[in-house]
Amino acid sequence: GYRGEPVAQLPLEVSSLDDPAHYDGVPVRVALFWSPAGPDAPLDALVEQPVTSAAAAPLDRVALNVFEHPAPALWVAGAAGGYGLARALAYRDDDGDHRKDADEPFVGMNGPSALLYAPAGGATGPSGNAVPAGFHLVRSPVPCAPEPTPPVAARADDCGVALGDGCSHVGGMGGMGAADAACGGAGRCLTDSPGGLCVLPVGDAPGCRPASGRLAVVEGLSMGPTVAWLKACDDDSACRVGEGYRCDQWRGICLPAERLTVILGADRPSALCQPAMGGQGMSLPASDAALP
């Protein structure tokens, strides 16, 4: 059964909406399913990479071994530079051949996670960022189109905010006010991130563009989903690796490191593409009207 050395080992977490005992004796396997038709393609357009198939059970936290790089036929068709996009899905392997057949049902869908792959030489990803070669775990949903740069000069002082720094550990009895103050200027602290994460909501500093920032929609603020500046990165070295952060190569910002997630009992895949930044009531100030 030896298949050689894996080209990647991806952290995988399996959860369940059902009683875990429901899967006792059920031949559940998890594999990568690639999406040549692009983000949010229907299930019947996804293509399994059988060499990644592995037995799985509820509450597993294991490494999913990848023994081959995905062939070009699995990459997103027509993508500039070529890149691959995959989800981890679970199915019932009734005949035991370690691959999903047409009559074998899916029994689990991807959670808020995706896998981005760039071949040697890198690629231009779905949001327009340069993606270095290799496999990159990202949290979904994600932007599926390039985001315009605001038509204002970048400020080297990052508008007085320590983007990407920790903050919640200094809050203590001072609560959120002290945590936000630790970020400086109009910065806000995302306290649900490890050690806190300093960001700058666009609406709190209209017309200000931090030189080391990049736009993203963030959760964890009292105002709900918010367009904000986060610490930009090209690789992990720009992020707080020792505290569990990595460079999210889809967005090009520092975020907590991700796992591939599979939810047994879920009957539909988690969406990969997020709405445009101006959608879902996320209003932008007039001075930043050129933003999406």
Reference 261, options 32, 7, 21; nearest CA is 32
CA distance 162 to 240: 13
pLDDT for 205: 85
For position 287, what pLDDT does the model report?
A: 41
- Supply the pLDDT for residue 80: 63
CB environment 241-277: b (16+ within 10 A), e (fewer): eeeebbbbbbbbbbbbbbbbbbbbbbeebbebbbeeb
Question: So what's the pLDDT on residue 169?
Answer: 66
| Predicted local distance difference test score (pLDDT) of residue 170 | 57
The residues that bridge with 47 in the sheet, in sequence order, are 34
pLDDT of residue 289: 39
Question: Which pLDDT belongs to residue 207?
Answer: 85
Q: What tens digit of pLDDT does each residue of 43-79 get?
A: 999 999 999 999 999 999 999 999 999 999 999 876 6
pLDDT of residue 277: 60
Listed as ranges, residues in the chain with pLDDT below 70 are 1-2, 78-81, 148, 169-176, 222-223, 275-292
